[in-house]
Structure 1
Amino acid sequence: MPDFSRMDGVAAPLPIANLDTDQIMPKQFLLGTDKSGLAAGLLYDLRFLPDGSRRDDFVLNTPAYAGAKVLVGGANFGCGSSREHAVWGLLQSGIEAVLAPSYGEIFYYNAANNRLLAIILKPEEIDEISAEISNPAANRLSIDVAAQTVRTASGRTYSFRMDERHRQMFLEGLDVLGASLKMLPHIEAFEARHRAENPWARVLPLPAGAA
């Protein structure tokens, strides 16, 4: 069975306060009818120049941070519109976790429901981690969801707290739909009981041929 309780990988510093969902996933990438292809739009205006060429100085475009699994961001990460595409794009790009002092509320719960780990740490802790991972030789973080800790390459450990429901979702490898389906026997039992107790509320099928 996969171990969903831990993750370890390259972490990239992105110390931008109020990084909104339009910056994370610009509007021109919202035209599809499904979730596919959003990795191409992630942080597009930060990753590319107006002529479409790469910004070589942007952290995720540098060799040391290629394939980063964690972003260490600024305050109010994911503020702005409620577009869930921002979360989907991060996940499609291989980002499994974000660390920040605070989040836009809707982004935070979109992240939790899609299994993007959004960790809240104190501003001074984020600053310490950002300073350490800015050194490419020390740019890895280990996150233990079961213990709710973040460990840096130098051995510093930071504690965070998660809502217990979302913590269990991460530990069991579930998104919000999977967590809901776990309750299917209870849902079906309630439905049967409700119908038995309230037969007058049953929705009857339409007669054959009825519009």
Structure 2
Amino acid sequence: MEKFVTLTGVAAPMPIMNIDTDMIIPKQYLKTIRRTGLGKGLFSEMRYLDDGSENPEFVLNKPAYRNAKILVAGDNFGCGSSREHAPWALLDFGVRAVISTSFADIFYNNCFKNGILPIQVTQADLDKLMDDATRGANATLTIDLAAQEIRGPDGGVVKFDIDPFRKHCLLEGLDDIGLTLQKKTAIDAFEAKSAAARPWA
């Protein structure tokens, strides 16, 4: 998993409450178990018109936000079904962080397992960041995970809390497999000892 240390990028404003996982990646894209290629389906029901062309009113289709790395979203982001395809689609599009006042638990956990940083802030801080995000090409935020702060384009700083273990995993780029591989020496030693004690197994 790619390490998350400091991220500087354009933040796209999505002031919508209760954005669920079906809005993030609709059910027709769930046939694959590949983590790549899902970016084209991200928010597809809002991103595309009925004829398949881009909806010019949708934020990620606007020139300033096409390469957004951060979403600033309304309350209860990621609610609905527990599909892991939702963080996969965000990551494949290029989004590495989502800022909101609250997240659905399963989506929140899935983000950390896939290298996305979900940041929970107060409503007052979200209002400031949403205002920053409406500046188009100037809507650049810097997220410093080590310092646990978000720096705005005018030098304002928003602090955020994060579980220390999850912070460690993101900083080191460790998903569940990476955490297990840290114990490889002990696992190999156990397997060698077990094989010697039970050669018939």
Identity %: 45
Q: TM-score, normalising length from structure 1?
A: 0.87
The aligned residue for residue 67 of structure 2 is: 67
- The correspondence of residues 1-150 of structure 1 with structure 2, limited to 5 A, is 4-150=4-150
Q: Distance in 1 between matches of 2:146 and 2:22?
A: 32
Q: What letter matches 2:80 in structure 1? A: G
Query: Where in structure 2 are the equivalents of 1:153-168 lying within 5 Å?
Result: 153-168=153-168
Question: 1:17 & 1:185 partners in 2: Cα distance?
Answer: 47
Question: Could you state the TM-score of these two structures normalised by the residue count of structure 2?
Answer: 0.91
Aligned equivalents of 1:135, 1:33: Cα separation in 2: 36
- The one-character-per-residue Cα deviations of 1:149-170 (angstroms, maximum 9, x if unpaired) are 0010011101111111211111
CA deviations on 1:25-68 (whole Å, 9 max, x unpaired) are: 00001112422321111000110112212110111100111200
Give the letter aligned to residue 150 of structure 1: I
2: CA distance, partners of 1:34 / 1:135: 35
Moved >6 Å (runs of 4+)? none
For structure 1, the residue ranges without an aligned partner over 5 or more in a row are 206-211
The one-letter code of the counterpart of 2:155 is: G
Q: Counterpart in 2 of 1:177? A: 177
Superposed displacement of residue 3, structure 1: 7.3
Using the TM superposition, give the Cα deviation of residue 107 of structure 1 relative to its aligned residue in structure 2, in angstroms.
0.3
- The two structures, once aligned, show a CA RMSD in angstroms of 2.1
Determine helix, strand or coil for the equivalent of 1:57. Answer: coil
Q: Which is higher, the Rg of structure 1 or of structure 2? A: 1
Q: Which amino acid aligns with 2:36?
A: S
Which residue is 1:209 aligned to? none
Residues 109-155 of structure 1, C-alpha deviations (whole Å, 9 max, x = no match): 00001111111111111111101220225300000011110010011
